[in-house]
Amino acid sequence: MIGMQVKMTVREFAMKKKKKGKNPSPALLQELATLKSAAAARGIHVHYDRLEAAGLRLDGGLCELNGEYHIYIEKRKSVVDKIDFLENYLKQSPPPNIPEINGS
């Protein structure tokens, strides 16, 4: 494979260089903000909280509170993990009452 160029996405590069204490790249932060905006456009509130109780650590998830939908994400996750988590929830079929937004 000598002489072969390999293209990496920003996320793949960040995952490869993942080290604690380093600030995430502006491109990753922008991607996370874009996903959060996409969720807000669908009427979903995104929260980053410490999800731990009685020694149990949770990843997060989608829930409905007082007729509004909320996604809770463990705030100690890396930015890459938060992006993956949000992408997974936004790709799923939304529960009833959440409007679908078409990108066209």
Give the residue, 1 or 33, on which the prediction is more confident: 33
Residue 57 domain-assigned (yes or no): yes
- The whole-number pLDDT of residue 60 equals 86
pTM given for the model: 0.67
Per-residue confidence (pLDDT) for residue 101, from 0 to 100? 45
Position 81, amino acid: D
Residues 65-103: pLDDT tens digits?
877 888 999 999 999 999 999 999 888 866 666 545 444
Residue 24 forms part of a structural domain: no
| In a domain? residue 38 | no
pLDDT at 104 over 80: no
Report the pLDDT value the prediction gives residue 18, as an integer from 0 to 100. 55
Residue 81 lies in a domain: yes
Number of separate domains in the chain: 1
For residue 78, being part of any structural domain is answered with yes
Q: Is residue 88 part of a domain?
A: yes
User: In this predicted model, what pLDDT tens digit does every residue of 10-49 receive, in sequence order?
Assistant: 666 666 555 555 788 999 999 999 999 999 998 899 999 9
Q: What is the DSSP letter of 92?
A: S
48: domain range? 44-96
Residue with tokens 């002489």: 3
Torsion angle (degrees, nearest 10) of CA 43, 41, 45, 35: 140
Q: What angle do CA 11, 15, 16 make, to 5 degrees?
A: 120
Please provide the distance, in angstroms rounded to a whole number, between the alpha carbons at the two ends of the chain: 40
Separation CA 53–CA 70 (nearest Å): 19
